[in-house]
Amino acid sequence: MFRIKLENIGKLAIRRNLMWLVFLISLLFIGFIFSSIEISLNEIVVTEEKQDFKIIIYFKLFSILKIFFLKLDRYGIKIFNKNIPITREKLKSIDKGSFDLLRDLDIKLESVNFVLKVGVIDINLTNIAIVVVSTLFPILIRNRIKNKNLKYEILPEYDKLKFHFNGKISVSVKLLTFIKLHFKNIKSENTHNKRKIMV
């Protein structure tokens, strides 16, 4: 009788552990579905001496917790302290479908906080460049972001050839949307290939 009770207790413990495991897997699955990818542009430098940029891509569980990220700069992609160079051959291998996918994504502008310094060697051209950038940028972001998340300065740099963006522009996209569009793109490519074969 005592052995039977022990067996019952053991079975209950196994069931309880299985229930917790199923719950955790379900929670992670739901978290994955409602996760998002945040892309943060942190720096762009274009001068006669230097050309560089810095982009950070975060994976956000439940669109809140940043659990994974990678960095992009002129030297390549940095992930887990490992640098993967970006070559011209790799850039050429990116097909048109990838750009179509980016265009169709529902990208949300999260925050804007930066200082942009623009300079052309000629003073008059610098003034014109400042006016153009200062006019176009507000038009591009109109109705896309709340004012409390919007802060920027556009400043002239006279007698210099310079474009220096320093700060942060963050955009995000739901992971589920990205996956749906990715499979839709694959499906359309397969349909297109089948039509080619039939012809």
How does pLDDT run across 76-125, given as a tens digit for each residue? 888 877 888 777 776 666 655 556 666 667 788 889 999 999 998 889 99
How does pLDDT run across 121-151, given as a tens digit for each residue? 889 999 999 999 999 998 888 777 777 788 9
Cα–Cα dist 177/89, whole Å: 29
Mark 46-65 as b/e (b = at least 16 C-beta within 10 Å): eeeeeeeebbbebbbbeeee
How does pLDDT run across 52-62, given as a tens digit for each residue? 999 999 888 88
Residue 44: predicted pLDDT: 92
**Model pTM score:** 0.72
The answer, yes or no, to whether residue 30 has pLDDT greater than 60, is yes
The answer, yes or no, to whether residue 188 has pLDDT greater than 80, is no
Q: Which of 60, 61, 58 is nearest to 39 (CA)?
A: 58
Mean pLDDT taken over the chain: 80
The answer, yes or no, to whether residue 49 has pLDDT greater than 90, is no
- The DSSP call for residue 75 is T
- The DSSP call for residue 148 is G
Residue 86: predicted pLDDT: 74
